[in-house]
Amino acid sequence: MDIVSNTHHTQHLIIGFGKAGKTLAYTLGKLGKSVILVEQSSQMYGGTCINIGCIPSKKLSFLSDKPNKVSLKTAVDKKDELIGQLNRANFDKLDNLDGVQVITGQASFLDKYTIAVATKNETLILTADNIYINTGAHHWQPPIVGLSESQFVHDSTSLMALKNHPDELIIIGGGYIGLEFAFTFAGFGSRVTILESNNAFLPKEDEDIRRSLLDIMHSKHIEVKTGIQIESVSDDDNQAIITTSQGVLTANAVLVATGRRANTHGLGLDNAGINLTDKGFIAVNEHLQTSQPHIYAMGDVAGSPQFTYISLDDYRVVKSHLLGDGSYTTKGRTFPYAVFTHPPLAAVGLTEKTAKEQGLTIKTAKLYANSIPKAKINEQTDGILKAVVNVENDEILGVQLLCENSHEMINFMDLAIRQGMTASDIANHIFTHPTMSEALNDLFGSIE
């Protein structure tokens, strides 16, 4: 579908090429609806995950952990080749679909039904019956003196473009993103130090899980400093100088991993009467409608948990409201997560600590990965598996897995919890052998 003038009307207008937006565009296009998808950068066709998030970071993580490691330069080249293929495939999948038009440009609301799109050559005026905002989030940098001026400071995107690993890498922020990059760059040969302002490292995790992960990190020469405040950053010829409450540190590269903020700047949301939350996300209801019922927000920009698979689930919520009975909503949504450390940490449900805080009567089980036959075969015996079970009815309340292949195993456990399987059911389930999953027999079988 070609735009022949600078004014055009469409049934559905989607701002942002992320997981929710592109999937919704494809679904509506296949149904014969007229759809325009606006993406501000040709480098972002397919969204954050494909271009600067999950896919490139996991490709580097995988290559850093291979027995016969490649250089960082080779790994980055392989990563760039992969995301180039995926970027083009995502564009073609939509742009070749009858009824769907992809426009590259900056979108801004003129009113609640009208969008101005500034392209390379002109400004288009688009009106739509329904509008969907899927613009994602961006890296947030804390206001530390000298941080934004340092030539050695990176966000995750620029760090993944380095062709040579830094000898010394400092990561500001001890969350999951920082953790993943710590393991990746340690794998390529960097000495890594994580600076965490909180007094506790990963405070939401149980102590035994946290301790096991810290032991693994220590074995890989990754140091964690907690309760540390950064006062300033400056440069000399070859390195950044980080002045902290615990002394002065130096590094060849500094990764800022202190969280992300919603991409709302420049959208002109006020012109459309779209409200924001106190944290700057677009305010939505359980159907992901904004303060304007015909305008929806999906993914990170709507304050949804910042995972690609949650953006996909947001698509399901909107699809249910548009094309179904609206019964599928964000209310009561639970999901597993995985952190791609080496080995990965994955979890679903309640930890022992949160279960006790809720006043539940529980029992727990632990299994060390070095007792699992498949872990010995894979020569990856680090880690610990843990389960939390309700004493009263054998209900599985939560599972934490720090072991090889945990990012796959946790999906089975999430499904088991959703389907009401008990700890006894998992203890007696028939798994293939030898696999990491069969360790769940022993884990749940040890609960008394």
Q: Tell me the pLDDT tens digit for each residue of 91-102.
A: 999 999 999 999
Q: Which two tokens stand for residue 409?
A: 């195993």
Is residue 150 predicted with pLDDT exceeding 90?
yes
Helices 72-95 and 19-30, axial angle in degrees (round to 10): 30
Query: What domains can you pick out in the chain, each with its CATH number?
Result: 7-139+261-323 (3.50.50.60), 153-258 (3.50.50.60), 337-445 (3.30.390.30)
136-152: average pLDDT: 95
Is residue 2 predicted with pLDDT exceeding 50?
no
The pLDDT of residue 66: 80
Q: Tell me the pLDDT tens digit for each residue of 365-380.
A: 999 999 999 999 999 9
Q: How far apart are CA 116 and CA 110, in angstroms?
A: 7
298-317: average pLDDT: 96
The pLDDT of residue 1: 38
Q: Tell me the pLDDT tens digit for each residue of 319-338.
A: 999 999 999 999 989 899 99
The pLDDT of residue 85: 97
Is residue 223 predicted with pLDDT exceeding 80?
yes
Q: Tell me the pLDDT tens digit for each residue of 403-432.
A: 999 999 999 999 999 999 999 999 999 999
Residues catalogued as catalytic: 433
The pLDDT of residue 6: 77
Q: How many CB atoms lie within 10 A of CB 142?
A: 13
21-47: average pLDDT: 97
Report the predicted TM-score, pTM, of the whole model to 2 decimal places: 0.93
Residue indicated by tokens 């922020």:
173
Is residue 67 predicted with pLDDT exceeding 90?
no
Q: Which of 100, 86, 87, 98 minimizes the C-alpha distance to 37?
A: 100
Is residue 201 predicted with pLDDT exceeding 90?
yes
268-279: average pLDDT: 97
Work out the pLDDT band at 5, boundaries 50, 70, 90.
low
Q: Would you call the peptide bond into 343 cis, given omega within 30 degrees of 0 as the criterion?
A: yes
Is residue 227 within a helix (H) or strand (E), and if so which, with residue range?
Answer: none
158-186: average pLDDT: 96
For the chain, the helix, strand and coil percentages under 3-state DSSP, each to the nearest 5: 35, 25, 40
- List the end-to-end C-alpha distance of the chain, in Å, as a whole number: 64
Ordered alpha helix ranges (H), 195-277: 207-219, 269-272
Q: Which of 5, 21, 1 minimizes the C-alpha distance to 297?
A: 21
Residue indicated by tokens 């539940």:
360
Q: How far apart are CA 83 and CA 442, in angstroms?
A: 40
Q: Which two tokens stand for residue 85?
A: 């293929």
Cβ-based neighbours of 430, under 8 Å, separated by 6 or more: none
Is residue 185 within a helix (H) or strand (E), and if so which, with residue range?
Answer: helix 176-187
Cβ atoms of 105 and 117 within 8 Å: the answer is yes
- The rounded radius of gyration (Å) of the Cα atoms in the chain is 24
Q: How far apart are CA 19 and CA 90, in angstroms?
A: 10
Eight-state DSSP code of residue 83: H
Is residue 7 predicted with pLDDT exceeding 90?
no
